[in-house]
Amino acid sequence: MWFTYLYSSLIPLGAFFSTIGLTLYYWVDKYNLLRRSSVNSNIAGELSIQAIKLLDFTLICKPVGEILFDCQIRDSYHWSSFLMLSMGVVYLFLPIDTFLEYFHPEKFNN
């Protein structure tokens, strides 16, 4: 998925086909997990949290891809790419857990 967002400014249909592919992949995996497999042990919660945190890096991959391809192919830059990159970096460094705890203290104090 990261590479899809990296190349999305060069190949716009790639994001569409990637979405279709991920949807099909989801349903095939869901069928396999629910009907054909069994798990003897649980996956650690830390792995899930790390995977969710890595998803946030797509906010940086797309603008970086746009900046790289604009530089190499078009010899110009779009200000919106730098704006999206700065917003992605700010989002990654915000203490999201602190904000969630502030707005929903009853869920975190149990």
Predicted confidence (pLDDT) per residue in 58-110, tens digit:
888 888 888 888 888 888 888 888 999 999 898 888 877 777 777 777 765 65
Average pLDDT over residues 52-62: 83
User: 29 is in which domain, residue-wise?
Assistant: 2-108
Q: What are phi and psi of 109, to 5 degrees?
A: -95, 0
CA proximity to 66, closest of 49, 91, 84, 43:
84
Per the structure, the count of domains in the chain is 1
pTM over 0.75: no
> Using one digit for the tens of pLDDT, what is the confidence trace for 23-43?
999 999 888 888 876 667 777
